[in-house]
Structure 1
Amino acid sequence: MNGTMKDGNKPEPVYAAVFGSIMVVGLPLNAMSLWILLRRHSLKSTSAVFMVNLAISDLLLVISLPMRVYFYATGTWPLSSRACNVITMLLRNNLRSSAIFITFISMDRLLAVVYPLRSRHLRTSSNAWRAAVLIWVFVLVVNIPESVFFSSSSGHHTDSTCFKWNPHLYSSFVYFMCVVLFTLLAVNIVCTALVSWTLHKHLNESAKINNKVNVMLIFAMNLLMFTICFLPLNVGIAMRAADAIIPLTCLATVNCCLDPLLYYFSFDGFWKKKQDVDPARER
């Protein structure tokens, strides 16, 4: 998921500006969102648990962007290969963890709308935290072999090739992630269809949905992020579209700026204090 400098160590100011803009927008949005979620919403809500972890994932990505800005602005990498490895993994981890957390948010909304009574024993904060831990473990386990391969290939890199894309190095990981992402996209599509059908037919009167537009906007945002941010980069790498890798990486990084919209649409009283928010409105 790395780009390649087209002309050796030639700076790429356009990409530096794009990553810089994403950093400027994403940092305050996610920091504020995390603060509001922790201070004004009970972590007993399954949605809040997944969104807190999603915000943490986005913040980890954002703090890695200054070095990408420096690299594309100057054409050089001032730190070690290990540091380059860490920065690369933060981006890849964000794309993976964000896609999974977003899917779990969709599944949680599905259970809340379609099966509100039968899913009560599943939609607990303890189960949500267990799922979050498993997601991070999965991401870290995938990191181990990938980091080893990346380190072995970057050991002889010069200071201008930190984010150079090797079309042969990650083929197995790219195909694996394409399968995972398409599977997650399919789950999101099914969840969207079932919730839309339920809201349209009014089949479940026990589900007190106060703002049906916001509910569907959550699913629309999830599908948008898959189709614009997550899939294009992985498909581009799988197809070895070298010239498109850097632009697609920029596009993928935009997900950290879009995620805060999920928090707003998910909670009718997102800006209200914890005690002022009716738990039923957080469905």
Structure 2
Amino acid sequence: MKNDSNCTNDTGFQYTLYSTTYILVFIPGLLANSVALWVLCGYTNKKNKAIIFMINLAVADLAHVLSLPLRIYYYLINVWPFTNFLCLFCFYLKYLNMYASIMFLMLISIQRCMFTINPFKAKDWKRRYDVAISCLVWVVIGASCLPFPIIRSYGLSNTSVACFADLGMNNKMAHGPALTMITAAELGGFVIPVIIITYCTLKTRSQLKNDSLQRQNVSEKRKALRMVLTCAAVFFICFAPYHINFFFYMLVNWSIIKNCSVQKVILTFHPFSLCLASINCCLDPILYYFSASEFKNEVVRHGSTMIRVRLMSRESASSIRS
């Protein structure tokens, strides 16, 4: 990173921060998203009302979670013994998860809001529409995230032992493709989703108030509002801090911001914002449980079944002993 030679910033804490965060996220994220996929794919009868988008959201989270052990290893050992391709692929999965999650959270908000305003659209909406939209999202986001590892692979050789936070930045691209990419990421990955999610939240809340006065479908509208609010909460907690700070972080890297005190604040907050972006892997399953009645019912039903099986096995074992 290039900044003022008289300005030094202690970033040694980030290794402990990253490793601790990823260790805390890995087990809950792996279990929660695995259960979510199992329930949503195998035990949910209704495939409309954003269920397809939830499945894709769980897939995006699980892909990132499965790469965390390699990140944990690197930040604990401080050496990357694997291939450069694997390093860049894990780096790529981080941004793929982030922007795919943002898109699917936005789509869930849009769909719930749309069906709240016009319930007749929900009856005519086909599952294949959600499948087609999801495929399009993966293609667009997958292609859009490719420049991220390319920019951060600057100076990487076959003998490199550095990875992730220690990857170099191609400063020569500051006024070229990198600037275009950063602008597109901020607009498409933050500004537009902020506007849409905020609008959907306010519109759904307004619709619920109107229907409450008329006492029409209040219960269903409350579920819709709860889902949209949860999407907004996950977005603003996990992704807003990163995108707000990331713009200034790049200005520091490109030596546009030269004030030492400002540099220190931006560089110190950057690792925290990245950790918040990873926490979404644990928060998204809360969206499924509290917002999708089918998901909640299936989890409770299968949990109760497992408890009954265990109790019966204990009773059988006790009768045999007696």
1:232 aligned to 2:237? Answer: no
Q: Could you tell me which runs of 5 or more consecutive residues in structure 2 were left unpaired when the two chains were aligned.
A: 1-8, 250-265, 302-322
CA–CA distance in structure 2, aligned partners of residues 36 and 221 of structure 1: 20
Q: Which one-letter code corresponds to 2:119 in the other structure?
A: P
> In structure 1, what is the equivalent of residue 50 of structure 2?
47
TM-score for the superposition, normalised by structure 2: 0.75
Deviates more, 1:127-136 or 1:173-182: 173-182
CA–CA distance in structure 2, aligned partners of residues 5 and 85 of structure 1: 25
Are the structure 2 counterparts of residues 35 and 162 from structure 1 closer, same or farther at C-alpha, using a change threshold of 3 Å? same
Q: Could you tell me which runs of 5 or more consecutive residues in structure 1 were left unpaired when the two chains were aligned.
A: 277-283
1:158 aligned to 2:163? Answer: no
The SS at the match of 1:210 is: helix
Superposition RMSD in Å: 2.8
CA–CA distance in structure 2, aligned partners of residues 210 and 167 of structure 1: 53
Deviates more, 1:94-103 or 1:151-160: 151-160
1:261 aligned to 2:286? Answer: yes
Q: Which one-letter code corresponds to 1:258 in the other structure?
A: L
1:172 aligned to 2:180? Answer: yes
> In structure 2, what is the equivalent of residue 32 of structure 1?
35
Are the structure 2 counterparts of residues 130 and 246 from structure 1 closer, same or farther at C-alpha, using a change threshold of 3 Å? same
Deviates more, 1:126-135 or 1:145-154: 145-154
- Contact (CA 8 Å) 2:33, 2:61: kept in 1 or not? yes
> In structure 1, what is the equivalent of residue 269 of structure 2?
244
> In structure 2, what is the equivalent of residue 111 of structure 1?
114
The structure 1 residue matched to 2:138, chosen from 136, 139, 144, is: 136
> In structure 1, what is the equivalent of residue 211 of structure 2?
202
- Contact (CA 8 Å) 1:15, 1:250: kept in 2 or not? yes
Are the structure 2 counterparts of residues 114 and 167 from structure 1 closer, same or farther at C-alpha, using a change threshold of 3 Å? farther
Are the structure 2 counterparts of residues 225 and 272 from structure 1 closer, same or farther at C-alpha, using a change threshold of 3 Å? closer
> In structure 2, what is the equivalent of residue 96 of structure 1?
99
Are the structure 2 counterparts of residues 60 and 270 from structure 1 closer, same or farther at C-alpha, using a change threshold of 3 Å? same
Q: Deviation of residue 147 (structure 1)?
A: 3.8
Deviates more, 1:213-222 or 1:86-95: 213-222
Q: Deviation of residue 163 (structure 1)?
A: 2.6
Q: Deviation of residue 120 (structure 1)?
A: 3.8
1:148 aligned to 2:153? Answer: no
1:215 aligned to 2:224? Answer: yes
1:35-71 CA distance string (max 9 Å, x none): 1111211363141100000000000010011111111
> In structure 2, what is the equivalent of residue 77 of structure 1?
80
CA–CA distance in structure 2, aligned partners of residues 96 and 134 of structure 1: 13
Q: Deviation of residue 17 (structure 1)?
A: 1.5
Greater length-normalized contact order (CA 8 Å, ≥ 6 residues apart): 1
Q: Deviation of residue 214 (structure 1)?
A: 3.8
CA–CA distance in structure 2, aligned partners of residues 206 and 137 of structure 1: 43
CA–CA distance in structure 2, aligned partners of residues 138 and 28 of structure 1: 28
- Contact (CA 8 Å) 1:198, 1:204: kept in 2 or not? no
Are the structure 2 counterparts of residues 43 and 268 from structure 1 closer, same or farther at C-alpha, using a change threshold of 3 Å? closer
State how many pairs are aligned: 269
- Contact (CA 8 Å) 2:36, 2:288: kept in 1 or not? yes
Are the structure 2 counterparts of residues 12 and 146 from structure 1 closer, same or farther at C-alpha, using a change threshold of 3 Å? closer
The SS at the match of 1:76 is: coil
CA–CA distance in structure 2, aligned partners of residues 233 and 193 of structure 1: 24
TM-score for the superposition, normalised by structure 1: 0.85
Which of the pair is proportionally richer in helix?
Answer: 2
Are the structure 2 counterparts of residues 173 and 231 from structure 1 closer, same or farther at C-alpha, using a change threshold of 3 Å? farther
Are the structure 2 counterparts of residues 204 and 36 from structure 1 closer, same or farther at C-alpha, using a change threshold of 3 Å? farther
Q: Deviation of residue 186 (structure 1)?
A: 0.6
- Contact (CA 8 Å) 1:54, 1:97: kept in 2 or not? yes
CA–CA distance in structure 1, aligned partners of residues 164 and 105 of structure 2: 30
Are the structure 2 counterparts of residues 194 and 177 from structure 1 closer, same or farther at C-alpha, using a change threshold of 3 Å? same
Q: Which one-letter code corresponds to 1:19 in the other structure?
A: Y
1:19-47 CA distance string (max 9 Å, x none): 11011111101100111111211363141
